[in-house]
A = this chain, B = another copy of it.
């Protein structure tokens, strides 16, 4: 079972109570005895959890989910295993947000960590770590040997940092797992909640963000970047992937190994990027896309569709370099 150390979880709740919350009491029978312990993604959910499905893109994993029940819409319920109870609703994301807020009522806004202590008061716990001045450390923070943390940085409770890392100044790290040999430059904010909410006039309903940010071995993050944590899944940067300055990585994004991402790039929520991908400066990638391995994306491009392995794309909307040049030549005749 996946445990979440970063946010206190309420529950378990009777499924009946959950369905009352989302005004969906008529659709399902025989649920009096079902208790739900958590809401999780299709692959992470276990037999006492609830999950959700809102697209046929995820058929491969939905058919294998172990979840007791799944919030979905009538057209997708056939993509669930028979023992998983389909709960059909009109607006899957709205229902999921409401339920997620029952289990995680404090993960929708980044309240300050009230357990921060100045590093010189907890130095003994971190004898082989170098701290600048005014570094704030939360509870249960683990930091590996030969790691440096620059002045004024904040490492919130339960964050784990590996060995031989160099963390700059004015960095915030929360809800994050940082492996070894990771380098984060000054002013970057890692693990804050993503830009997710159900738009409601005069009072948007914020999505709880209980996912983490995971930075694998050898990752480099430039200065003044923002990397948001996931909502129900994690935001992940693979081994040896390097980010330049002022890059924004939204919630739930997965980036592979050995990628090179130049300054001011933005990657919108839930997109996945393969291995060995090179992205030029100021390029933007829309949400929920799949970018393959060994892809090259030209600077300033706007990517709005999935990109196959080994492609070389450019422009807005980004197309293959060959088409881009052909189109340009034709237009400029």
Residues of A at the B interface (CB closer than 8 Å) are 109-112, 114, 116, 118, 130, 132-134, 136, 148-152, 154, 166, 168-170, 172, 183, 185-187, 189, 192-193, 195, 197, 199, 201-204, 218, 220, 222-224, 226, 228, 239-240, 242, 244-246, 248, 250, 257-258, 260, 262-264, 266, 268, 276, 280-282, 284, 286, 299-300, 302, 304, 315-317, 323, 327-328, 330-332
Given A109-B166, A263-B268, A300-B302: A192 in contact with B185 (beta carbons within 8 A): yes
Asked whether, in the complex, the Cβ of B331 is within 8 Å of the Cβ of A148, the reply is no
Find chain B residues with CB under 8 A from A185 CB.
110, 189, 192-193
Q: B284 touching A150 by the CB < 8 A rule?
A: no
Q: How far is the CA of A193 from the CA of B244 in the complex (A)?
A: 10
B-side contacts of A330, CB under 8 Å: 331
Report the separation of the CA atoms of residues A201 and B276 in the bound assembly, to the nearest whole angstrom. 8
In chain B, what residue has the closest Cβ to A187? B189
Enumerate chain B residues within 8 angstroms of A110, measured Cβ to Cβ. 166, 168, 185-186
Contact of A186 among B148, B189, B195, B257 (CB under 8 A): B189
A224 x B226 contact (CB < 8 A): yes
CA gap between A250 and B218 in the complex, in Å = 22
- Given A114-B130, A152-B170, A246-B248, 10 additional A-B pairs, CB 8 A: A112-B168, A133-B136, A154-B169, A170-B187, A195-B242, A195-B262, A204-B240, A244-B248, A248-B264, A264-B264
